[in-house]
């Protein structure tokens, strides 16, 4: 088992079931050209997000961590015309690249990007008493996950689905000697999920073109 094989299998699956298109290709090439890190979800993971949101009938989606808008585009494609996606991003440069990518993909009217630290944007949304979100994708700085989860719960209803990316970190999550703040925070996040009786969740490991990682999925039950 090796990364080359994982990538070959991803190429096969992606070419069959979640092929790229002009909007997605240009999103990645413009993100590269602008110097953004290549830490977007893989194409088949993007398609999985789209399918999960669509199968849930999501009309309001919240994303925490926009980058160049790659996952945003997959998620927004799940929405009906009257749907809405709010994506939170710290870096105005990332948000500008994302805005142009999302507009080019024809999804501009569905997506609002809010620039600033996600925790403040989440508090603003709570203060504005916005309608609860149906589907939430947490994918910003890993140190923030415990707080993003707590604030996301306040923006949820019974039935809201929350997905968190990067919860395995090439297995570092079980390294008892890890001092990486990101790993420690993701572990705290998973422990909070486990002890929070308002949610029911799981986590799965993934391998592929983006290496070895995993995501957590949970549903708000009360």
The residues that bridge with 219 in the sheet, in sequence order, are 161, 200
Q: Phi and psi (nearest 5°) for 3?
A: -65, -30
Is residue 166 involved in binding ligand DHB (CB under 6 A)?
Answer: yes
Is residue 40 involved in binding ligand SAH (CB under 6 A)?
Answer: yes
User: Residue from 97, 102, 139, 151 that binds ligand DHB (CB under 6 A)?
Assistant: 139
Helix (H) or strand (E) segment spanning residue 163? strand 161-165
Q: Which of 48, 45, 79 is nearest to 62 (CA)?
A: 79
Residues in 126-155 at the binding interface with Mg ion, rule: CB under 5 A: 139
Q: Phi and psi (nearest 5°) for 55?
A: -65, -25
User: Residue from 83, 144, 146, 214 that binds ligand SAH (CB under 6 A)?
Assistant: 144
Nearest CB to ligand DHB, comparing residues 61 and 83? 61
User: Order of strands across the sheet with 111-115?
Assistant: 111-115, 84-89, 60-64, 135-138, 161-165, 211-220, 199-208
Is residue 107 involved in binding ligand SAH (CB under 6 A)?
Answer: no
Is residue 118 involved in binding ligand SAH (CB under 6 A)?
Answer: yes
Name the residues that contact Mg ion, by CB under 5 A.
Answer: 139, 165-166
Name the residues that contact ligand SAH, by CB under 6 A.
Answer: 39-41, 65-67, 70-71, 88-91, 94, 117-118, 139-141, 144
């Amino acid at each position: 088992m090796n990364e080359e094989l994982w990538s070959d299998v991803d190429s096969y699956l992606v070419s069959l079931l979640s092929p790229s298109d002009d909007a997605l290709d240009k999103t990645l090439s413009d993100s590269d050209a602008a110097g953004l890190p290549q830490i977007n979800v893989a194409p088949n993971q993007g398609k999985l997000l789209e399918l999960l949101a669509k199968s849930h009938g999501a009309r309001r989606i919240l994303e925490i961590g926009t980058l160049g808008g790659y996952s945003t585009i997959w998620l927004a494609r799940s929405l009906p015309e009257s749907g809405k996606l709010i994506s939170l991003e710290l870096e105005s440069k990332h948000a500008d690249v994302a805005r142009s990518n999302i507009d080019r993909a024809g999804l501009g009217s569905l997506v609002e990007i809010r620039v600033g630290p996600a925790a403040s944007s989440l508090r603003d949304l709570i203060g504005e008493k916005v309608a609860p979100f149906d589907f939430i994708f947490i994918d910003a700085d890993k140190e923030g996950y415990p707080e993003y989860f707590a604030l996301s719960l306040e923006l949820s209803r019974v039935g809201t689905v929350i997905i968190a990316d990067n919860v395995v970190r090439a297995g570092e999550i079980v390294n008892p000697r890890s001092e990486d703040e990101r790993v420690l925070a993701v572990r705290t996040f998973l422990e909070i999920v486990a002890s929070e009786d308002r949610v029911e969740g799981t986590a799965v490991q993934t391998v592929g073109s983006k290496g070895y990682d995993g995501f957590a999925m949970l549903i708000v039950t009360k």
